[in-house]
A and B are shown apart, each in its own frame.
Chain A
């Protein structure tokens, strides 16, 4: 049976992260940056926790509820950016956003499993799902860099 474009969106890797999320569950401790984002129209609800030492992202946790795209993206994001510097993470983030928007992006840039979200570009209605965890990350890094917008709810 042909599922059309569906197969370009729902890749095995994505569904694997959805069913077996990495770095799931929040940790105690106040040495984490913590951001909670919601998308009230669809009920996606995500919290991410990030530890940053000397400009290096050393630990990431995520938790929440939502659809397969938003939940898997949180898992993929957590894996992709762990061990990266904030500067590197920003580069990946920008590249990722361009990619899912269907704009020009650097296909050579190492971004782990995040690359499989290319198909989102053909599903503009799912853009928000694919980016909510990444937007939370952007806020964490802004806060770390002293550019806190203090707008933790979306």
Chain B
């Protein structure tokens, strides 16, 4: 069990936290990667470097073993079966796979697909495309006054025509947790299938897909201490088996005839070509690392930082806080009269890394009536000192831009 007092030891695992004065608050975009993950990647690249599933020699056997062990680690991590884990390039690819495989097969004219304005573009655009091609209807859950998805509002749009519900588990701009378990239950009552965007939830909280009973969940390695270029699609096995592959070629076939082909079972029929071997080994190492830290620590550290940050930010005059009731370590704000990109440049001078922009959520920016926001997002390795640096940077930026008033 990791104790709060071990935070400095944790920070030693991250090169930038150990060797620079960087205040890294852009974790919702990508987390930093600990040495343990880098070592695992190096081990594969340096000591193995060979392909999987194909070679009979020892090195290939070990690479295959590590690749498939990583799949088991993911399965244990989110509490599903080994064969329900499909490796993808990232959350976006996983979300797209659900739409282009399940959606294109099962959505028909007049069907309804429910999504929300809180979504990341990667969660809603694949379904917008399916809806256009299939002449289905894309329906948005009305957000409440705080821009949350509520069960009450979800009930208003759920009908017997609803075939798919594509919603985020945790918003990457507002930090809200969607009451997804209840939503899934309601959706199942009308026979709809639920695809959850777990890109911002899986790295930060214990997600148990069996308990949620979700049909699909997608997430990325690079937001949870893993490398870029790897992500996961979890799907209930029956659903995965019923779906058609969207990419054809090496590794995913059973038998190839001149005019026909049979495919491997899921998950392999969705992993065409040489798989993301290093990436999978990397996300496996990231999961080992997160397990060692433990979600008790991760959640308590992030919640402590959230309360500490909000208390201070609420008291800064001229700071427009968009989500004072955020559920996670994601805080969105603007400094009145200063464009978010100017804020970001000012913060950069203080070595405070945040994100300024529309966060791939343009519909939400319209709801907030902003072209862009500044977003600070924490992870378990952040400290109160990081928040102090953020607050200092805000004050300094305000003071600087006030000079031109």
Contacts and interface: CB of A to CB of B under 8 A. Distances in A.
Interface residues of B, number: 21
Interface stretch (A48-56, A62-70, A137-145): A62-70
Contacts of A12: 404
Contacts of B340: 67
Contact of B342 (A4, A65, A67): A67
Contact of A41 (B357, B396, B400): B357
Nearest to A7: B400
Nearest to A45: B371
A5 B372 contact: no
Interface string B240-253: 00000000000000
A67 B348 contact: no
Contact of A10 (B344, B358, B365, B400): B400
Contacts, number: 52
B100 interface: no
Interface string A112-123: 000000000001
Contacts of B338: 68
A10 B404 contact: yes
B149 to A, nearest CB: 25
Contacts of B348: 125
Given A41-B357, A43-B371, A125-B348, A3 B342 contact: no
Contacts of A129: 341
Interface in A23-69: 41-43, 65-69
Interface residues on A, range: 20 to 34
A16 B404 CA distance: 8
A4 B348 CA distance: 11
B339 interface: yes
Contacts of A10: 342, 400-401, 404
B404 A3 contact: no
B372 A43 contact: yes
A5 B342 contact: no
A132 to B, nearest CB: 12
Most chain-A Cβ atoms within 10 A of its Cβ — which of B342, B358, B371?
A: B342
A6 B371 contact: no
A6 B397 CA distance: 10
Contact of B396 (A1, A67, A69): A1
- With most chain A CB atoms within 10 A of its CB, the pick from B339, B371, B396 is B339
A42 B404 contact: no
Contact of A68 (B342, B365, B396): B342
B345 interface: yes
A121 to B, nearest CB: 13
Interface string B371-402: 11000000000000000000000001001110
Given A1-B396, A66-B339, A67-B339, 11 more contacts: A3-B346, A3-B349, A3-B400, A6-B346, A10-B401, A12-B404, A42-B357, A66-B371, A67-B341, A68-B338, A125-B348
In the A-B complex, the 10 residue pairs with the closest CB atoms: A15-B404, A67-B339, A67-B341, A43-B371, A4-B349, A3-B400, A68-B342, A43-B372, A6-B349, A67-B342
